Amino acid sequence: MCGIVGYIGDRDCVPIIIEGLKRLEYRGYDSAGIAVLSDGTKEVIKTKGKVSELEAEVAKQGLAGKMGIGHTRWATHGVPNQLNAHPHFNQEKTLFLIHNGIIENYSELKNKLIKKGYSFYSETDSEVVVNLIDRYIKKGRDLAAAVKYALNKIDGTYGLAVMYENEPDKIVVARKGSPLVLGIGEGEYYIASDVNALIAYTQHVVYLNDDEIAEITKDSFTVRTITDEEIQHEILKVEMTEDEITKSGYPHFMLKEIMEQPLSIENSMRGRFITDEGIVKLGGLIGYEDRIARSKRIILSACGTSWHAALVGEYMLEEFTGIPVEVEYASEFRYRNPIVGEDDTVFFISQSGETADTLAAMREAKRKGALALGICNVVGSSIARESEAGVYIHAGPEIGVASTKAFTSQLVVLSLITILIARKRNMDFEIGVELIENLKALPQKVEEILKLNDEIEKIAEHYVNSNNFLYLGRGYNFPVALEGALKLKEISYIHAEGYPAAEMKHGPIALIDENMPTVFIAPKDAVYDKILSNIEEVKARKGKIIAIAHVDDTRIDELVDHVIKIPECHYLFQPILNVIPLQILAYHIAVKKGLNVDQPRNLAKSVTVE
């Protein structure tokens, strides 16, 4: 969500911070700001709107300096405007702070500070933090100690960076529940909430853990816990290039990431097969396979698109392993005192590995003794580090807010886990080989689907002015209907709902008329004839019909208004292929509406607050 960037060194910090903030625009935000404190310069510039507006104002004022912090804000407390934008500062304007997260007891702290003579110019909870730090500085503490004392008074989450005029060679940062990474240079250091902001400058990083505070100068850094225990962190190398986070000639990141799916799917399975034995090898789960296979229950917990992937995973795991599987919204799991224990395995699925609800749910499952495993994309993320084991999906950076390639890679990894555990239990060698061979064929089939881009764009022209959509599928393709509807809602702002096709008669059929498009996922599988019956019911009510069907299906042509023909595959992997035309359809409808598909309103790529 919000973005943090900072720099201390011998170079001008302003272009570095501005470029870093641009790298974080995909996270979702409504305002931006920068503070510079060095060589006699003390300046804060804040703007409502895009980083480009901040950049123009910075250029206009000629801002420069060797130490600074910048921020993009996604509103929580207080409306989007210049006053509520970060950085925030104390009354004397000697202390500057940027903050991601939510301070739950800010109202109580604010009232106490007001009684001590403090006044507030913004509506934010973050301004409370800078004034609380100021309070401890005025009691004689240095900056790092003041931050530590202040954070011990705070309930909530934070990733923050602070500068103080009387300690002009230092930035203090802290983390609890909101990611922070330090970039290591030669005679310079960087700070960011996402490694994407740093890779143009360094590939060597340190990921802070919760309840850690770091003091950073241009020559060194030290990390301590909030209880003053010194921590030695390993410096890690980021295996990512700057090219991976550019559009590479595409008009939008979302289209680029849709088109990257043959490669991202291949990368998700690369090196993970022993085909001759019909088995899967997942290095991140070595030593845990038998325990998973002995589980009395498997739980899949996630949010948003990852939750739809979990639904497909439930179908896979139950059918092929025989283990009962439940799918939980992470946001509900943590609050309802879930009954989990040592006989349960819980997989937590998150593209970013920083989703606040999913991370909190994982901690709750660990506390109750369950085996807590992660499935995520971002190396070094909180879920990757705090889970007992797990699997990376290796989809590569996903910048577009609406997840595309991460979803299909999550489905590939869930397929791999299914084969791994099923072969440990009761799956025949021949079935294992068959499934592996079908998985290996997917990238080429995705290539064939992507060639339909122009055809799908023409279909999109018919539905740009639609106000509602219905998506219907059965079995493994019901979660695909949910995901197709979500993609359309996220980027085109058209109301859309996904349902099991058989549930249409239990309510949604009342919505169907000549203005209501219905998308059917209709592969030639065990329920194909039933799907055709549902199509007939919509047709009888003059509804517009778009179908996703197999390439050799001729029966469906005369029943629907538009059909997108895709290759056949094993039914277990149909969701991976069937969702891609729905991603492309949503993309073109949104573009034709003139919308920003990479940064849809009110949404953030990584939801790091509740």
Look at residue 459 and give its three-state secondary structure.
helix
Which residues are designated catalytic? 2, 605
pLDDT at 76 over 90: no
Judge contact between 348 and 373, C-beta under 8 A.
yes
Q: Is the pLDDT of residue 107 over 80?
A: yes
Give 1's pLDDT tier (boundaries 50, 70, 90).
Answer: low
Q: What is the pLDDT, as a whole number, of residue 243?
A: 67
Give the pLDDT confidence score for residue 134 in this predicted structure.
Answer: 96
Residue 609 has pLDDT above 50, yes or no: no
Most confident range (mean pLDDT) of 387-396, 397-406, 523-532, 578-587 is 578-587
Report the candidate in 312, 55, 37 with the shortest Cα–Cα distance to residue 163: 37
Whether residue 607 is predicted with pLDDT greater than 70 in this model: the reply is: no
| Domains of the chain: residue spans and CATH | 3-244 (3.60.20.10), 247-440 (3.40.50.10490), 444-598 (3.40.50.10490)
170-224 confidence digits (pLDDT tens): 999 999 888 899 999 999 999 999 888 888 899 899 999 899 999 999 999 999 9
What count of residues does the chain have?
A: 610
In the structure encoding, which two tokens stand for residue 572, read together? 């277990």
How high is the pLDDT of residue 142? 94
Per-residue pLDDT tens over the stretch 466-514: 999 999 999 999 999 999 999 999 999 999 999 998 777 777 777 787 8
Q: Which of 342, 335, 420 is nearest to 375 (CA)?
A: 420
d(CA 196, CA 397): 8
Nearest-10 Cα torsion for 421, 425, 428, 431? -20
In tens, the pLDDT along 517-532 reads: 999 999 988 888 888 9
Half-sphere exposure of 468 (CA within 13 A, CB side): 13
Report cis status (omega within 30 of 0) of the bond before 87: yes
Give residue 513's identity as a one-letter amino acid code.
D
What band does 152 get if pLDDT is binned at 50, 70 and 90? very high
d(CA 600, CA 401): 7
Tokens of 417: 């886990």
- In this prediction, residue 605 carries a pLDDT of 55
Residue 244, CB-side half-sphere exposure with 13 Å CA sphere: 17
Least confident of 63-72, 171-180, 466-475, 594-603: 594-603
d(CA 302, CA 347): 9
Q: What is the pLDDT of residue 306?
A: 95
pTM of the model: 0.79
| 464, 465, 471, 492, 607 from 495: Cα distances, Å | 12, 12, 11, 9, 22
Percent of the chain with pLDDT over 70: 98
Tokens of 361: 């749910």
Query: What pLDDT sits at residue 497?
Result: 93
Chain centroid, CA 389 distance in Å: 20
> When comparing pLDDT for 133 and 77, which is higher?
133
Whole-Å CA distances, 606 to 74, 242, 356: 11, 20, 9
Q: Return d(Cα 85, Cα 93) in angstroms, integer.
A: 15
